[in-house]
Chain A
Amino acid sequence: MASVTYKNVYKRFGDVTVITDLNMEIADKEFVVFVGPSGCGKSTSLRMLAGLEEISEGDIMIGDRVVNDVPPKDRDIAMVFQSYALYPHMSVYDNMAFGLKLRKTPKAEIDRRVKEAADILGLGNLLDRKPKALSGGQRQRVAVGRAIVREPAVFLMDEPLSNLDAKLRVSARAEITKLHKRLGTTFIYVTHDQVEAMTMGDRIAVLADGILQQIDSPRTLYKRPNNIFVAGFIGSPSMNFFNATIVQEEGKMIVDTGDFRVEIPAEKQATFKDVVGKEVVFGMRPENIHVPQYAPPGIVAAPFDVTIEVVELLGHELNIFATSGKNSLVATVDTRLEANVGNKIGLVMDMGQMHIFDKNTEMAIR
Chain B
Amino acid sequence: MQQIEAKAPESAGAKLVALILRVALAVAIPLIAFWVLYQGFLFLRDSDAPKAVIVLVAIIWGVGGVAALYWIFNWLVEQLPGDWTARLQPFVFVGPAMAILIWYLTLPVYRTFWLSLFDRDGFPVGFSVFKPWTWITGIQSPSFVGFANYTNLFTERLLQEALRNNLMWIVFGSTLSVVTGLLVATLADRSKSERVSKTLIFLPMAISFVGAGVIWNFMYEVKPPGEAQIGVFNAIVVALGGSPHPWDKWVAIAPWNNLFLILIVIWLQTGFSMVLFSAALKGIPQELMEAGRVDGASELRIFFNIMLPYIRPTVITVWTTIVIFTLKIFDVVWVMTGGQFGTHVIATQFYRQSFTARNSGIGSAIAIVLLLTVVPVLAYNLRQLREGQEGF
Q: Which residues of A contact B (CB under 8 A)?
A: 50-52, 71-73, 77-79, 81-83, 85-90, 98-99, 102-103, 131-132, 146, 150
Residues of chain A lying within 8 A (CB to CB) of residue B305: 87, 98
Closest chain-A Cβ to B314's Cβ sits at a distance in Å of 13
Residue of B nearest to A87 (CB): B306
Partner of A85, one of B285, B301, B309, B312: B285
The smallest C-beta distance from B124 to any residue of chain A, in angstroms, reads: 58
Q: Can you report 16 residue pairs joining A to B where beta carbons are below 8 Å apart?
A: A50-B290, A51-B293, A71-B293, A72-B294, A73-B293, A73-B296, A73-B297, A81-B287, A87-B309, A89-B312, A98-B292, A99-B294, A102-B297, A131-B392, A146-B291, A146-B295
Interface residues on B, range: 10 to 19
The answer on a CB contact under 8 Å between B290 and A52 is yes
How far is B297's CA from A146's CA once the two chains are assembled, in angstroms? 14
The residue that A102 contacts in the complex, of B296, B310, B312, with Cβ under 8 A, is B296
B288 in contact (CB, < 8 A): yes
Check A103–B296 contact: CB distance below 8 A.
Answer: yes
Among A50, A83, A103, contact of B294 (Cβ-Cβ < 8 Å)? A50
Contact A77-B294, Cβ < 8 Å, known A85-B288, A88-B392, A132-B392: yes
Least Cβ–Cβ distance between A81 and chain B, in angstroms? 5
A79 touches B296 (CB 8 A): no
Which residues from chain B contact A103 at a C-beta distance below 8 Å? 296
A86 to B288, CA, bound (A): 7
In the complex, the answer to whether A73 meets B294 with C-beta atoms within 8 Å is yes
> Is B296 within 8 A of A99, CB to CB?
yes
Are A88 and B294 in contact, with the CB atoms below 8 A?
no
Q: A89-B309, A102-B301, A132-B392 are in contact. Are A83 and B295 (CB under 8 A)?
A: no
Please give me the residue from chain A that is nearest to B289 by CB atom: A85
Cα distance, A306 to B292, chains bound together (Å): 58
Binary interface profile of B, 324-366, with partner A (CB < 8 Å = 1, else 0)? 0000000000000000000000000000000000000000000
Residues of B within 8 A of A (CB): 285, 287-288, 290-297, 301, 305-306, 309-310, 312, 392
B293 touches A52 (CB 8 A): yes
| Listed residue (B294, B297, B305) with the most chain A CB atoms within 10 angstroms of its CB | B294
Q: Does the CB pair B296–A82 fall under 8 Å?
A: no
With a 10 A CB-CB cut-off, give which of B291, B305, B312 has the most chain A CB atoms: B291
State in angstroms the CA–CA spacing of A51 and B309 once bound together.
25
Closest chain A residue, CB of each to CB of B290: A52
| Bound: A85/B307 CA distance, A | 12
A101 shortest CB reach to chain B, Å: 9
A361 to chain B, nearest CB (A): 38
Question: How far is A103 from B296 in the complex, measured between Cα atoms in Å?
Answer: 7
A102 near B290: Cβ-Cβ < 8 Å: no
Complex Cα distance A90/B305, Å? Answer: 10
Cβ of A78 and Cβ of B294 under 8 Å apart? yes
B296 and A83 form a contact (CB under 8 A)? no
> Which residues does chain A contribute within 8 Å of B292, judged by CB atoms?
87, 98
Bound-state Cα–Cα, A89 to B310, Å: 7
Complex Cα distance A182/B305, Å? 32
In the complex, how many angstroms separate the beta carbon of A75 from the nearest chain B beta carbon? Answer: 8
Measured in the bound complex, the distance between the Cα atoms of B305 and A102 in whole Å is 11
Is the Cβ of A79 less than 8 Å from the Cβ of B297? no
* Residue of A72, A85, A90, A131 touching B287 (CB-CB under 8 A): A85
- What residue of chain B has the Cβ atom nearest to residue A71's Cβ? B293
Distance to closest chain A CB from B145 (angstroms): 51
Set of chain A residues within 8 Å of B296, measured between Cβ atoms: 72-73, 99, 102-103
Q: Do B291 and A85 have beta carbons less than 8 Å apart?
A: yes
Q: How far is the CA of A132 from the CA of B392 in the complex (A)?
A: 7
Closest residue of B by beta carbon distance from A147:
B294
Query: Nearest chain B CB to A139's CB is how many angstroms away?
Result: 11
Q: For A71, list chain B residues within 8 Å (CB).
A: 293
Given A89-B312, A102-B301, verify A82-B294 contact (CB < 8 Å): no
B297 CB contacts on chain A under 8 angstroms: 73, 98, 102
15 further interface pairs, Cβ-Cβ under 8 Å (given A73-B297, A87-B292) = A50-B290, A52-B290, A71-B293, A72-B296, A73-B293, A79-B294, A81-B290, A85-B291, A87-B305, A87-B309, A88-B309, A88-B392, A99-B296, A102-B297, A146-B291
